């Protein structure tokens, strides 16, 4: 059976063995960075058209030496894997019932008869395999790596992460499939609720469960910057970084030793996130060196992510000719990290001093840095502010790695996220490195200066914004106006609430009273296009209705344009009144030949919508993600 699989919008198996999303299909291969690792096994390669033969090959390879083999699944093709799911469905249902209770049994049993349908099978097999994994492998680091790799694909597809709401969600379609995902999450220690109606169900983890899921997505998900390009940002991962930061790191050290009387002092330092842990070596020499080396690149990548979560900028590099990979950090970078890490390293230094293995002067120098941290001791440095092709450019340059690291840490302490709000390039070969503040970073700093979580954060952000505005003023009126525009837009974000909004006004001689009941915004993928759907429930002129407008990018200038299609003129007038009440701008209305009426909104309306807290985060993320051309 050759040709193409029928393709569907579901991304349930986005990072598992087999999946389809419209014209995208997963192809698995081993990367050069370690054989058989979950991350390399589940690496995604999008193809415009992918043959069934390639999918069969992926399943065959996994069954011979990958994830399927670990699960004891024997399948030489996609059809055989579907047959395996059908034959073993009772075991899947039993595992789900143990997690969710007997009320779900009837719905899940009914899925068995639908598994010959490729669309249903693609949505079902991934959570089914995760349930089997929990039964056979338990919950440990190995199984969590596979679990997180599959979940990261589901989140990266139709899912979402919201640090502001403290939620992580997967979109699954029909209720039985959503229940299966909820059971798979529960089997790995994460409670989630099934929400929705009809054929639009989703699985949502909140609170501590969302934090744990976000941490796993951060640790095992895709790169924050695709190809290292700061313009191509994984915003869902950035949200996961922010949300996952709420979870505590466990950092401890042990095994202080010295092989010879004058040899280097060495200790082991372990950083762990829940069930995931990496043991680093710490060396006390002319400086403090923390290092992890392995031939398994995925393991080194994990070590680097743990370090970044501990506040240390760390990159993976290949070393030597033996296929080894390394991540390392020295004194200044460690001193810019989180307090838990600095305290652990300081403990190693103090014990080495007590044993007489390092001299007092060197130890005191290291401890001063570790105890104080390279964060907020000095004022803001001299940022360069200017315009490039009409866009604001804000950069700090230095040839000193410690200075660059200090600025990066200062921005993190303010609440900015590297890769989303600012980018960093370390100095190399005597050339200058830089910290670059992205447009979204300045706008977010302005927002933090008003709405930050405490006085310290608000004060730090306000000082930064004030400094940038001063530098912009020194650079000329055009630069000043651009900087002020970004700052004002940032401060206005989320300053209002949709819920409870009321306003009375007159349009074309007709008086309207607008009362908003609720609202929100979500991103959607449709035929390869990323859309923003804004939904508002409101009473307008005494009539309660749900108003939905969908934004997309259009034309050669990539303009943000929103549309709603209405049949009745009275409904269209009420819709236009709602938009004008909320944004201060009346939308365009035009009648089609078939009698329908188009409501058309533009970026100015979107900026008005962004003033409302329920919409601001989704709008900002969508504008950033779709603004790249």
Average pLDDT over residues 472-477: 86
Q: Which of 235, 246, 265, 251 is nearest to 155 (CA)?
A: 235
Which position has the token pair 């719905």?
A: 107
- Which has more confidence, 551 or 368? 551
Any domain includes 51: yes
Of 492, 524, 547, the one marking the end of a domain is 492
Both 72 and 216 in a single domain? yes
Pinpoint the alpha helices (H) of 312-359: 331-335, 339-354
Report yes or no: 288 and 330 within 8 Å, Cβ to Cβ.
yes
Mean pLDDT for all residues in the chain? 79
Q: Which domain, by its residues, includes 481?
A: 384-492
State which H helix or E strand residue 110 sits in. Answer: helix 105-111
Q: What is the pLDDT of residue 40?
A: 36
In this prediction the pTM is: 0.51
Exposure class string for 203-236: b at 16+ Cβ within 10 A, else e: bbbbeebbbbbbbbbbbbbbebbeeeebeebbbb
Kindly report, residue by residue over 409-420, the tens digit of the pLDDT: 889 888 888 877
Both 63 and 155 in a single domain? yes
Both 126 and 222 in a single domain? yes
Residues paired with 51 in a beta bridge:
4
In the predicted structure, residue 345 carries a pLDDT above the cut 60 = yes
Report yes or no: 394 and 437 within 8 Å, Cβ to Cβ.
yes
In the predicted structure, residue 25 carries a pLDDT above the cut 60 = no
Kindly report, residue by residue over 189-214, the tens digit of the pLDDT: 889 888 876 667 888 888 888 888 87
Q: What is the pLDDT of residue 33?
A: 34
Both 358 and 438 in a single domain? no
State which H helix or E strand residue 143 sits in. Answer: helix 141-157
Both 295 and 171 in a single domain? no
Q: What is the pLDDT of residue 221?
A: 60
Any domain includes 303: yes
Both 116 and 201 in a single domain? yes
Kindly report, residue by residue over 263-280, the tens digit of the pLDDT: 889 999 999 876 678 999
Any domain includes 284: yes
Any domain includes 378: no
Any domain includes 226: yes
In the predicted structure, residue 361 carries a pLDDT above the cut 90 = yes
Both 485 and 520 in a single domain? no
DSSP state at residue 612: B
Q: What is the pLDDT of residue 29?
A: 28
**Among 5-9, 81-85, 215-219, 479-483, which is the least confidently predicted range?**
5-9
How open is the CA angle 559-562-568, to the nearest 5 degrees?
Answer: 150
pLDDT band with cut points at 50, 70 and 90 for residue 451: confident
Any domain includes 353: yes
Of 202, 221, 243, the one marking the end of a domain is 243
Both 234 and 153 in a single domain? yes
Q: How many angstroms separate the CA atoms of 443 and 51, rounded?
A: 45
Both 368 and 414 in a single domain? no
* Burial (Cβ within 10 Å: 0-12, 13-18, ≥19) of residue 331: buried
Any domain includes 15: no
Kindly report, residue by residue over 587-622, the tens digit of the pLDDT: 999 988 888 999 999 988 998 898 888 898 888 788
Of 243, 275, 308, the one marking the end of a domain is 243
Both 453 and 409 in a single domain? yes
How many separate domains does the chain show? Answer: 4
Q: What is the pLDDT of residue 473?
A: 87
Report yes or no: 281 and 268 within 8 Å, Cβ to Cβ.
yes
Kindly report, residue by residue over 551-591, the tens digit of the pLDDT: 999 887 788 899 999 989 889 999 999 999 998 889 999 98
Q: What is the pLDDT of residue 627?
A: 62
DSSP states of 377-437: SS-----EEEEETTEEEEEEEES-HHHHHHHHHHHHHHT--BTTTEEEE---TT--EEEEE
Both 206 and 279 in a single domain? no
Any domain includes 548: yes
Q: What is the pLDDT of residue 21?
A: 26
Residues 6+ apart with CB under 8 A from 525: 9, 21, 157, 158, 531
């Amino acid at each position: 059976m050759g040709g193409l699989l029928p393709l569907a919008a579901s991304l349930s198996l986005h990072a598992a063995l087999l999946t389809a999303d419209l014209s995208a299909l997963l192809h698995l291969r081993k990367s050069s960075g370690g054989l058989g690792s979950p991350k390399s096994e589940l690496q995604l390669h999008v193809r415009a058209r992918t043959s069934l033969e390639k999918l069969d090959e992926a399943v065959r390879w996994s069954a011979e030496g990958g994830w399927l083999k670990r699960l004891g699944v024997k399948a030489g093709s996609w059809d055989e894997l579907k047959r395996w799911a059908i034959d073993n469905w009772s075991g899947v249902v039993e595992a789900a019932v143990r997690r969710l209770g007997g009320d779900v049994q009837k719905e899940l049993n009914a899925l068995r008869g639908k598994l010959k349908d490729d669309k249903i099978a693609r949505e079902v097999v991934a959570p089914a395999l995760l349930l089997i994994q929990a039964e056979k492998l338990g919950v440990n680091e190995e199984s969590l790596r596979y679990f997180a790799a599959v979940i990261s694909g589901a989140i990266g597809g139709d899912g979402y992460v919201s640090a502001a709401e403290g939620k992580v969600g997967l979109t699954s379609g029909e209720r039985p499939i959503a229940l299966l995902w909820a059971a798979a999450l529960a089997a790995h220690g994460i409670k989630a609720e099934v929400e929705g109606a009809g054929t639009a169900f989703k699985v949502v983890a909140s609170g501590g469960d969302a934090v744990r899921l976000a941490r796993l997505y951060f640790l095992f998900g895709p790169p924050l910057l695709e190809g290292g390009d700061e313009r191509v940002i994984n915003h869902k991962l950035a949200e996961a970084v922010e949300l996952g930061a709420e979870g505590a790191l466990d950092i401890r050290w042990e095994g202080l030793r010295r092989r010879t009387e004058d040899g280097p002092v060495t200790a082991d330092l372990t950083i762990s996130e829940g069930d995931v842990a990496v043991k680093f070596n710490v060396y006390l020499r002319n400086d403090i060196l923390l290092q992890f080396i392995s031939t398994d690149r995925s393991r080194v990548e994990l070590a680097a992510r743990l370090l970044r979560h501990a506040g240390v900028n760390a990159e993976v590099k290949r070393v030597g000719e033996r296929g080894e990979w390394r991540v390392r950090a020295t004194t200044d970078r460690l001193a810019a990290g989180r307090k838990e890490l600095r305290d652990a390293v300081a403990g190693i230094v103090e014990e080495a001093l007590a044993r007489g293995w390092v001299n007092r002067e060197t130890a005191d120098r290291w401890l001063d840095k570790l105890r104080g941290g390279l964060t907020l001791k000095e004022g803001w440095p001299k940022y360069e502010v200017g315009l490039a092709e009409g866009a604001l450019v804000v950069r700090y340059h230095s040839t000193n790695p410690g200075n660059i690291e200090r600025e990066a840490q200062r921005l993190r302490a303010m609440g900015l996220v590297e890769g989303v709000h600012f980018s960093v390039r370390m100095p190399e070969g005597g050339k200058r490195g830089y910290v670059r503040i992205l447009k979204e970073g300045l706008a977010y700093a302005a927002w933090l200066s008003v709405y930050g979580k405490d006085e310290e954060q608000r004060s730090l952000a306000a000082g930064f914004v004030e400094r940038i505005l001063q530098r912009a003023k020194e650079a000329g009126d055009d630069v000043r106006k651009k900087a002020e525009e970004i700052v004002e837009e940032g401060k206005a974000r989320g300053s209002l609430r949709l819920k409870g909004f009321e306003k009375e006004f007159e349009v074309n001689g007709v008086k309207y009273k607008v009362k908003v009941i609720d609202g929100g915004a979500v991103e959607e993928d449709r035929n390869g296009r990323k859309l923003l759907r804004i939904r508002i429930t409101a009473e307008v002129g005494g009539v309660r209705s749900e108003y939905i407008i969908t934004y997309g990018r259009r034309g050669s200038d990539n303009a943000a344009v929103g549309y709603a299609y209405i049949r009745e003129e009275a409904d269209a007038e009420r819709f236009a009144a709602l938009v004008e009440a909320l944004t201060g701008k009346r939308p365009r209305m035009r009648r089609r030949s078939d009698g329908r009426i188009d409501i058309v909104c533009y970026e100015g309306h979107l900026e008005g919508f962004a003033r409302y807290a329920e919409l601001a985060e989704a709008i900002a993320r969508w504008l950033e993600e779709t603004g790249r051309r």
